[in-house]
Amino acid sequence: MARGDIPGATGAKKGRPLSEKTEAAILEATAQLLAEKGLAHLTIEEVAARAGVGKASVYRRWPSKGTLAFDAFESDFLSRQPLPNTGDLRGDLLAALRAWVRTVRDTPIGRTLRGLIGEVQRDPALEGIWRERFMTPVRARHRALVDRAVARGTIPPGTDSDLVMDMLYGAAYHRLLQGHLPLNDQFVRVLVDAVVASIGAVEP
Amino acid sequence: MARGDIPGATGAKKGRPLSEKTEAAILEATAQLLAEKGLAHLTIEEVAARAGVGKASVYRRWPSKGTLAFDAFESDFLSRQPLPNTGDLRGDLLAALRAWVRTVRDTPIGRTLRGLIGEVQRDPALEGIWRERFMTPVRARHRALVDRAVARGTIPPGTDSDLVMDMLYGAAYHRLLQGHLPLNDQFVRVLVDAVVASIGAVEP
């Protein structure tokens, strides 16, 4: 019998959808609590209570508070920034950076992101987890925009996509963390233009 | 009588050289203690004791721990990075960024800088002081390299020196704070080349 023919009849696999639902509930409760109190004051007890699960369910999936918090934050962060596909690199980078700026400037996500980066600077045990659970997947998502332009043949095959990411998001994180100048649309436009010019894009 | 004609004879002004020496001693003691214990555990008492002055002398010049710590850090940070004058923008930016990388990567300054930025993310009261006492003067020093190239006529007069700073130092701070990729000479070279290309420099 094919799965899904008779809803609820595939006894042995019944646990799976519930498990996904539980996972989603835990991640959402964690993201909420992170925004409300920050990483330092987050407890697994409170996450479990808000998600309506036992502490053991949380620990079965996440070995530590850091792994749970960063997974939850990454999932929340990326869900607010659908990957653009405008047809050219400049348009893609503009759309992606605009979504990033809106997320960190206009929602509580920005304050939480600053707080998490602050914690990571103070606690060496969190560094590797933060890179693995947040920076690496988020960077990979954004770098795909550059790789697509390389595949399209509109920028040179040897383009250093890490450098492109560092110039673009490095500048944006710099303004977020230092607050020396505004994160606004004017900034997004001149930054994207400068970064695209630095690649020597041959796009129209 | 002209000042300085007879050393030690100008009674009313005698305090001045001592005061500069005291100030230097306080700043140096603060920089040392910052490196040793970080901002959170720094106390004015300990600074005064190590500098061999009274607490009142410290408070006479610095209204809070944050202003003292950031002044001391800025002074220590910049003293390790003499401003280059190589004759062209690319050479100047290469030399400046190399000195920055050496300072944050090869001395305890990098760990202290990360710690201070971490504290600033967690404490809104420190944000303005950090910008005023550290970011603004340090940025102004580096931006002077771009302004000089504009004055020399080798880059367009309308060059957005804030954007240049954000791409260059934003990328460098990004690697320092996130640790996703190394801060090495290869990075410095490709970054400076890309930033100079983005300006549309007409230098040879």
Percentage of chain A lying above the pLDDT 90 cut: 85
pLDDT in the model for residue A79: 93
Task: Give ipTM to 2 decimals.
Answer: 0.88
| Amino acid identity at B109 | I
Could you report the per-residue pLDDT of B160-199, keeping only the tens digit for each?
A: 999 999 999 999 999 999 999 999 999 999 999 999 999 9
Contacts of B136 (CB under 8 A, 6+ apart): A180
Minimal Cβ distance to A181: which of B122, B162, B173: B162
Burial of B63 (0-12, 13-18, 19+ CB in 10 A): exposed
Torsions phi, psi of A61, nearest 5?
-100, -35
- Six-digit token string for A125: 């045990």
Query: Is the confidence at residue A10, as pLDDT, over 80?
Result: no
Could you report the per-residue pLDDT of B37-90, keeping only the tens digit for each?
A: 999 999 999 999 999 999 999 999 999 999 999 999 999 999 999 999 999 999
- Which residue from B minimizes the CA distance to A168? B167
Could you report the per-residue pLDDT of A125-139, keeping only the tens digit for each?
A: 999 999 999 999 999
Closest CA to B155 of B197, B191, B188, B193: B197
- Residue B121 to residue A119: CA distance in whole angstroms: 9
Query: Is the confidence at residue A18, as pLDDT, over 60?
Result: no
A51: helix, coil or strand? helix
Chain A residues closer than 8 Å to B163 by CB: 171, 187, 190-191, 194
- Residue A106 to residue B1: CA distance in whole angstroms: 64
Chain A residues closer than 8 Å to B172 by CB: 170
> How distant is the Cα of B201 from the closest Cα of chain A, in angstroms?
11
Could you report the per-residue pLDDT of A22-51, keeping only the tens digit for each?
A: 999 999 999 999 999 999 999 999 999 999
Q: How confident is the model at residue B200 (pLDDT cuts 50, 70, 90)?
A: confident
Query: Which residue ranges form the domains of chain A, and what is each CATH number?
Result: 17-64 (1.10.10.60), 80-198 (1.10.357.10)
Do the Cβ atoms of A58 and A43 come closer than 8 Å?
no
CB contact under 8 A, A117 and B174: no
Query: Is the confidence at residue B145, as pLDDT, over 70?
Result: yes
Q: How many A-B residue pairs are in contact by the CB < 8 A criterion?
A: 121
Q: How confident is the model at residue B4 (pLDDT cuts 50, 70, 90)?
A: very low
| Amino acid identity at A142 | H
Chain mean pLDDT for chain B = 89
CB contact under 8 A, A166 and B171: yes
Chain B residues closer than 8 Å to A139 by CB: 180
> How distant is the Cα of A183 from the closest Cα of chain B, in angstroms?
12
* pTM for this prediction: 0.89
Minimal Cβ distance to B139: which of A136, A166, A180: A180
Query: Is the confidence at residue B135, as pLDDT, over 50?
Result: yes
> How distant is the Cα of B130 from the closest Cα of chain A, in angstroms?
8
User: What 8-state DSSP symbol labels residue A134?
Assistant: I
| Chain A interface residues (partner B, CB cutoff 8 A) | 114-115, 117-122, 127, 130-131, 135-136, 139, 160, 162-163, 166-167, 169-175, 177-181, 187, 190-191, 194-195, 197-200
Do the Cβ atoms of A89 and A145 come closer than 8 Å?
yes
Chain B residues closer than 8 Å to A135 by CB: 178, 180
